[in-house]
Amino acid sequence: MRKTPTAHLYMQEMVDEAMRMDNGDATYKRYAWKETGATVASNKIVALTCYKPWKWVIGASAYEDDFSGSRIAVKSALRDMLAITAAGAAALLIIFAGISIYMSNRIVKPISIAAAMLKDIAQGEGDLTKRLSINTKDEMAELAKWFNVFIDKLQNDG
């Protein structure tokens, strides 16, 4: 029987535990394994199951260090993915902020011009020769058209 560096009969214990399990169940164990000629023991992980009809214990083991490279690669990939996602989100935020500012100016500017002209007329100092420009075919163009019609009537009736 093979013993751990502390003279523990770990294989027999694992076999005994696997034999006590229900058919098809699995258990996982960690243990220290010292290779022949090695100065230090390395940790291993073993998965065990039992096939009761034949009284077989089936196990597969690997060194824990074998998984550390994969763990580091996954962490690195996640970190890279997070950085790319954050950069993409920041770029989208800047783009959408720019579009929002452009669109709000496109809507607010003509309204502000119309309001200023109406205020000028309402205060009695208005220049009835000025008209709002119509450069689009949207609601603002409709507003400018009817504002200009209104000013024409004021000018002709005045």
pLDDT tens digits for range 73-132: 899 999 999 999 999 999 999 999 999 999 998 888 878 877 887 787 777 766 677 777
Can you give the residue range of the structural domain that contains 79? 69-157
Residue 77, C-beta contacts closer than 8 angstroms, at least 6 positions apart: none
* Same domain as 138, residue 75: yes
Q: Structurally, how many domains does the chain consist of?
A: 2
Of the two residues 74 and 52, the one the predictor is more confident about is 74
Is the pTM above the cut of 0.75? Answer: no
The mean pLDDT of 8-12, rounded to a whole number, is: 73
* Same domain as 139, residue 120: yes
* Same domain as 152, residue 121: yes
E strands, 2-152, where?
26-33, 42-51, 56-63
The mean pLDDT of 54-63, rounded to a whole number, is: 87
4 within some domain: no
Among 46, 63, 80, the domain-final residue is: 63
136 within some domain: yes
What three-state secondary structure class fits 61? strand
- pLDDT above 70 for 5: no
CATH of the domain at 45: 3.30.450.20
